[in-house]
Structure 1
Amino acid sequence: MTPISRLTASLLALGLCLPTGALADTEFAPWSERAIQDDVDIKDLARSGEDPIPVLQPIGEKLFEAKFTTLDGAGRPDATRAIVPTKVRRPPPQAFQRLAGMDANSCASCHNEPVIGGSGAFTANVFVSEGFESTDFDTVDPQFSNERNTVALQGAGLIELLAREMTMDLRAQRKDVLDRARAGGEPQTIGLHAKGISFGSLTAYPDGTVDISALDGVDSDLTVRPFSQKGVFASLRQFTVNASNDHHGIQAAERFGAAWTGTDDFDGDGHADEMTPGQVSALVAFQATLPAPTRKQDLPDIWRDAAQAGEKLFADVGCTSCHVPSLPLESLIFHDPGPFDTAGTLRQSDVETPLALDLGTLDWVKALPRDDQGRVLVPLYGDLKRHTVADAANDTFGNELLAQRFVARDVFITSELWGIGSTAPYGHRGDLTTLNEAILAHGGEAAQSRKAYADLKESKRQSIIAFLRSLEIAE
């Protein structure tokens, strides 16, 4: 809140008012139609040593639920939705559209089922391009865009922490095999594993080069990117900056500001630096602290018994080879900016000290199980790895025509199933209405598990459905 807005609020509370001219100078009167009002200096917050969660979380929640207006800078008349700041090639026919965006007034207008931060109905689907270049389109023709359903954000802070630790593990293994190749004067090959998940192998040579052709499910830089249905965003911060421009036309200064574009109003809508680093951090903090999904309580006996049997069958047919029940997490300190944020997103090198959000102070985190080493077991039912999930016989998950961020059309990151009982419809387009349909749609690497499921008796298939529907986002 600006000094003028604080003064205005104080005077109004006393039944007084500012002079007309002073009130006209601010857009932060109590009745203001501006949605973006509160801010925080993250440098001062980091220096203070104050717990950032109670400072940032309520601001982030307010921003996540806010309905952005043109007073906030909503709209991008001269800019595209592209990840890299890009000027439009032709003026959009209107500010809001269901195609290349803008397509939402609020984060919560899509992420709202069954609670704020959750998934979205089919009517909330968006159309995405490859992200870098082909961002101007005004058709639903699949040659120009892919249709995507909204994914839930519950537990996202733990997901990002897992991805960070996996990335560090993989990069440490790469360094080790390079050191051994240089020391021994001969090529060395290593199988890459992080938290029990295999990511293929790589071969290092004495001259320092690396053969990455045998990597599996991860990018060549060995960064695990857990967000989006394709697994192409490394952090909540990157996701937030992208989505703010893409869906709302709210452009974060850390990417679209003068440091990178030479102007503080890249989209040409008359509003400078529409979202500050502090406001992005607040949105990140809100998402990172959303409680993880749980299991339904007080189930009737028939459902509880079926779910218990179904959980075992789910493993027996091979589904847990990708939908791993839990992964161990070493540290609960969520640094923002994160260690793998890159150019165009605020980086740790851009700040004196990153904010440190201790997720371990949250009650819902304290309730999670731990292993014999004291690590939190994150019950995600996923592996943070990309897989081929379609083939010629079953192309339901492979019929997109556009690759996204160089990820093949039939490759998607494993969906975390925690909360799946609350996030119908299913599939990357949200056009599968039942879990049974979603399971039977699997192909590629999941073909054998799909067949094993299909070969079960109906009663056993239903027990697997009972198990999956017991995994919920609590309301």
Structure 2
Amino acid sequence: MARAGLALAILLSAANAAISAETSPPWAESILSGTQPVAGLSGKIDPDTLKALRDRGEHLFTGHFTTADGVGRPFATQAIVPTKRKRPPQNQFFRSAGLDANACAGCHNMPVAGGAGEFVTNVFVSEGFESADFESLDPQFSNERGTNHLFGAGLVELLAREMTRDLQAIRRSTLDSARISGETVTGKLVSKGVHFGTITAHPDGMLDLTEVDGVDADLVIRPFTQKGVMTSLRQFTVNALNHHHGIQAVERFGKRWTGEDDFDGDGVADEIADADIAALVAWQAGLQPPVRRAPEDEAWQKAAEHGNAVFDELQCSACHIRALPLSSLEFVDPGPVDMAGTLRSGEAEADAVYDLALLEWAKDLPRDEEGNWLVPLFGDLKRHVIADQEVSAFGNELLAQRFVERNVFMTTELWGLESTAPYGHRNDMTTMDEAIRAHGGAARASRDAYIAAEEADRSALIAFLRTLVIGEAE
């Protein structure tokens, strides 16, 4: 079946919504019919249209989905690849495999919508086998994960895209050099000051990827989730809608990929269209980045200033890099490097471009001497081994995820840290001190230095980290 372009899909979706609005009263128990999709999304989006799109996205993110919207997936699983069940589960809500939430903001709510979640909002990541017998809280079958915040997520995705482009350009140039020279050539994989190992090319075009570090062999930076396995906000949104709500995106579960318009067999066809996925992406991408807030207490201010220096002395900034440079704030949707099942650039008649520079918070982003925006994420968008035999708290999962080893996790971005307690990938550490002491593997030296430091230095570091907050939403 031929793929309709994004712009056409948005216009059709708007038309369908208008028809639905004529037959549905304003008190209808349906979020998707609550406001109309925004039409005409192609090319660079003007400020008024971007605001309308983000308003629609916020409406969908904070509202409670119902069966009228398509909640439930009796004959489909939570798997990211459309997977049929042998039989429907007895209970619609199933804590270990979804449905496990009524609204996106049901979990992403600290300190405001789009934020993190407490231990009670933990989710259970599993493969989504066709048999519910494997859907269990047992760590043999699922990994328990805390809810990450989404503030600054658009900037994170833009950084990941630029870093992917850099790494793949190095791969191309290394291959070209080997072919032209007739000799084996090794290229260093470095982007924005972050080292991802090396790649070796032979004259016959063969590649040695054994020294690639912290990124998949395709050199695509996947910045989302604790394991770094989600490429984009769009992929994350499509996955989460199906997993947590049983709301299935047409772009993955529709006729193009499954041959059906009601793959999950709940009686609701084409549950959420490309246009509404675009609205959810635009709202998340435009969430303001967390900030550093100066404490009112003078003693705290002084301690935080000292802790700022301790952060570097203990080499925390080796992985939790204070800021990464970003050359453009233009967020293109759909994105360029998603895999099949998520709408990609080139599959739409015209991509939409959301200029994040139009948002109020963008004026506060610092810039370097070359004109790049500096994104203060305190991270490196790289995976690291984070546990060892002696310090193993962060290596407690039994299942690998997307070929990422059990003791390997993405560096947590520290911006917003004070606003997102508890800590750790399972939300099971109540203090920052506990989380620091749990660092093993590649972070072991910094952890040991922290423990060996004077109490005043450790206290000052915590004072500094507690200034990293999520501000009020726009």
Q: Tell me the alpha carbon deviations over residues 401-425 of structure 1, each in whole angstroms, 9 at most, x when there is no partner.
A: 0001110000000000000011000
Mapped to 2, the partners of 1:458 and 1:452 lie a distance apart of 12
Deviation at 1:367, TM superposition (A): 0.6
Q: Given the alignment, which residue of 121, 124, 145 partners 1:124?
A: 121
Moved more, 251-260 or 31-40: 31-40
Partner of 1:331: 328
User: 1:350 is paired with a residue of what secondary structure?
Assistant: coil
Q: Given the alignment, which residue of 40, 45, 48 partners 2:41?
A: 45
TM-score (normalizing by structure 2):
0.93
Deviation at 1:319, TM superposition (A): 0.7
Query: Does residue 244 in structure 1 map to residue 241 in structure 2?
Result: yes
Moved more, 131-140 or 250-259: 131-140
Deviation at 1:142, TM superposition (A): 0.5
TM-score (normalizing by structure 1):
0.93
CA contact (8 A) 2:143 2:397 kept: yes
Mapped to 1, the partners of 2:147 and 2:440 lie a distance apart of 22
Mapped to 2, the partners of 1:263 and 1:59 lie a distance apart of 27
Partner of 1:467: 464
Q: Tell me the alpha carbon deviations over residues 217-274 of structure 1, each in whole angstroms, 9 at most, x when there is no partner.
A: 0000000000001000010000000000000000000000000000010000011110
The 5 Å alignment of 1:72-83 reads 72-83=69-80
CA separation of 1:331 and 1:134: change in aligned 2, threshold 3 A: farther
Mapped to 2, the partners of 1:3 and 1:318 lie a distance apart of 56
CA separation of 1:433 and 1:343: change in aligned 2, threshold 3 A: same
Query: Does residue 182 in structure 1 map to residue 179 in structure 2?
Result: yes
Structure 2 portions without partners, runs of 5+ = 1-12
CA separation of 1:157 and 1:4: change in aligned 2, threshold 3 A: closer
Q: Given the alignment, which residue of 346, 351, 356 partners 1:349?
A: 346
Query: Does residue 29 in structure 1 map to residue 8 in structure 2?
Result: no
CA contact (8 A) 1:170 1:194 kept: yes
Deviation at 1:206, TM superposition (A): 1.0
Q: Which amino acid aligns with 1:201?
A: T
Deviation at 1:41, TM superposition (A): 6.2
Mapped to 2, the partners of 1:278 and 1:5 lie a distance apart of 11
CA contact (8 A) 2:295 2:467 kept: no
Mapped to 2, the partners of 1:435 and 1:91 lie a distance apart of 42
The list of structure 1 runs, each at least 4 consecutive aligned residues, that deviate by more than 4 angstroms after superposition, is: 1-9, 130-136
Q: Which amino acid aligns with 2:361?
A: W
User: 1:190 is paired with a residue of what secondary structure?
Assistant: strand
Mapped to 1, the partners of 2:53 and 2:221 lie a distance apart of 26
CA contact (8 A) 1:329 1:377 kept: yes
CA separation of 1:413 and 1:131: change in aligned 2, threshold 3 A: farther
Mapped to 1, the partners of 2:455 and 2:239 lie a distance apart of 44
Q: Given the alignment, which residue of 40, 59, 83 partners 2:56?
A: 59
Mapped to 2, the partners of 1:323 and 1:148 lie a distance apart of 21
* Total equivalences in the alignment: 458
Partner of 2:255: 258
Q: Tell me the alpha carbon deviations over residues 292-313 of structure 1, each in whole angstroms, 9 at most, x when there is no partner.
A: 0012245211111111110110
Query: Does residue 227 in structure 1 map to residue 224 in structure 2?
Result: yes
CA separation of 1:234 and 1:68: change in aligned 2, threshold 3 A: same
Partner of 1:94: 91
Q: Which amino acid aligns with 2:182?
A: G
CA separation of 1:127 and 1:8: change in aligned 2, threshold 3 A: closer
Q: Tell me the alpha carbon deviations over residues 301-350 of structure 1, each in whole angstroms, 9 at most, x when there is no partner.
A: 11111111101101111111000000000010000001112210111121
CA contact (8 A) 1:80 1:136 kept: no
The 5 Å alignment of 1:64-463 reads 64-130=61-127, 137-463=134-460
Mapped to 1, the partners of 2:406 and 2:20 lie a distance apart of 54
Moved more, 222-231 or 299-308: 299-308
CA separation of 1:286 and 1:454: change in aligned 2, threshold 3 A: same
Q: Tell me the alpha carbon deviations over residues 161-216 of structure 1, each in whole angstroms, 9 at most, x when there is no partner.
A: 00000000000000000000000111100110000000000100111111100000
Mapped to 2, the partners of 1:179 and 1:137 lie a distance apart of 48
Mapped to 1, the partners of 2:20 and 2:172 lie a distance apart of 58
Mapped to 1, the partners of 2:131 and 2:397 lie a distance apart of 15
Q: Which amino acid aligns with 2:393?
A: T
Mapped to 1, the partners of 2:257 and 2:191 lie a distance apart of 35
CA contact (8 A) 2:77 2:129 kept: no
Deviation at 1:458, TM superposition (A): 1.2
